[in-house]
Amino acid sequence: MNLDDLPIRDDLRGKTPYGAPQIDVPVRLNTNENPYPPSPELVADLAAEVAAGAATLNRYPDRDALALRADLAAYLGHGLTSDQVWAANGSNEVLQQILQAFGGHGRSAMGFEPSYSMHPIITTGTNTAWVRAAREEDFSLDPGRAAAAIEEHDPDVVFLTSPNNPTGTAQPLETIKAVLAAARGMVVVDEAYAEFAREGTPSALTLLPEHPRLIVTRTMSKAFAMAGTRLGYLAAHPAVVQALLLVRLPYHLSTLTQTAARVALRHREDLLGTVAALRAERDATVAWLRDKGLTVADSDANFVLFGRFPDRRRVWEGLLEHGVLIREVGPPEWLRVSIGTGEEMAAFRAAMEEVL
Ligand code: PMP
């Protein structure tokens, strides 16, 4: 028997699962992780906390993750309190819960492409119609055109990704405000890469007090260097959090996950201490690629989109032959490289020299 023989939902027939190739190579620059592992101090602290928590694993975890949400609110600042914060297993699960509560049959969600490809997958997976709007040539959004697209399609949920994956483009607050003014439904600003933004790129968190339909999502997978923990979260009006409680599975965040996230938050200075180095490495990578005569999108994230290659597969494969794995993603002719350590980026540059 194969997949097609199963009575699977019609809209899932012929689809392929999301996923970057997982290839064991020396230099992995394909999934926008933080390349710096947790410090020995964090590992020791986590081991002690997990040992203490293990003695209670016969019991379910704190169902509403109250202590963790209070810690996350304190980290975010902006006067946020725990009733405005919600957490789940990665921001992907947060996004899915948002669609479960605000999307569904007969409803639609809109995004501006190219953007994070899980947005349409989560949207259609929750039986919500996906409406695709376009970005400008330089991957920015024109506030007037974005508002017009929203007015035309009247979606129940609008996704803005800032900084955007895979382009690295951050949204000015004016654009987010224009979208909020045009939208009847919920506006989700996916800020998975917010901590990497350049100076002068404010977070949409500053707009929350005035905008009860705004949801800002974040993750500990990127700047926080905790991708393996699976912890994503959001900030929104307390009523939005109450809506998500209607769809979340009970005890969705394990005791171990909540413990690991709280330990990481305690060590945040240490973890976020790598951000400055990654930003500098990113800016150097943009400059180097431009110096090579390539077209490179401005980046506020921990990755860089560059091109344009009539045969991008050849370049991707050439880098792989030199032990460097990047991502074949985004518009045709472009490739995305995640920012690694100084040594990893030197290996990327050396491999590029060979391939170009
Ligand atoms: N949003 C964006 C824009 C992303 O790029 C990613 C990860 N690739 C996520 C959300 C999801 O991350 P996680 O589920 O690890 O929090």
ipTM for the predicted complex: 0.99
* pLDDT value, residue 344: 98
Q: How far is the CA of 196 from the centre of ligand 1 (A)?
A: 14
Would the CB of 166 count as within 6 Å of ligand 1? Answer: no
For 34-72, the pLDDT digits (tens) are 999 999 999 999 999 999 999 999 999 999 999 999 999
* pLDDT value, residue 133: 98
Proportion of the chain above pLDDT 70, given as a percent: 100
Q: How far does Cα 4 stand from its chain's mean position? A: 32
Rounded average pLDDT over 295-314? 97
* pLDDT value, residue 356: 92
Asked if residue 254 has pLDDT above 80, the reply is: yes
Domains of the chain by range and CATH? 19-36+274-355 (3.90.1150.10), 40-267 (3.40.640.10)
Would the CB of 221 count as within 6 Å of ligand 1? Answer: yes
Would the CB of 123 count as within 6 Å of ligand 1? Answer: no
| Averaged confidence pLDDT in the chain | 96
* Nearest CA, atom 12, ligand 1: 91
Q: How far is the CA of 224 from the centre of ligand 1 (A)?
A: 13
Asked if residue 20 has pLDDT above 80, the reply is: no
* pLDDT value, residue 22: 84
Would the CB of 330 count as within 6 Å of ligand 1? Answer: no
* pLDDT value, residue 25: 94
| Residues near 213 by beta carbon (within 8 Å), at least 6 away in sequence | 180, 183, 185, 186, 187, 237
* pLDDT value, residue 21: 81
Asked if residue 200 has pLDDT above 90, the reply is: no
Mutate to test the pocket of ligand 1, among 18, 86, 92 (most ligand atoms within 8 A of CB): 92
Q: How far is the CA of 192 from the centre of ligand 1 (A)?
A: 6
* pLDDT value, residue 19: 79
CB 262, CB 45: distance < 8 Å: no
Asked if residue 81 has pLDDT above 90, the reply is: yes
Q: How far is the CA of 70 from the centre of ligand 1 (A)?
A: 22
Would the CB of 219 count as within 6 Å of ligand 1? Answer: yes
For 148-172, the pLDDT digits (tens) are 999 999 999 999 999 999 999 999 9
Residue with more model confidence, 109 or 19? 109
Rounded average pLDDT over 72-83? 97
Asked if residue 245 has pLDDT above 90, the reply is: yes
Asked if residue 295 has pLDDT above 90, the reply is: yes
Mutate to test the pocket of ligand 1, among 33, 169, 188, 219 (most ligand atoms within 8 A of CB): 219
Q: How far is the CA of 165 from the centre of ligand 1 (A)?
A: 9
Asked if residue 281 has pLDDT above 90, the reply is: yes
Rounded average pLDDT over 122-144? 97
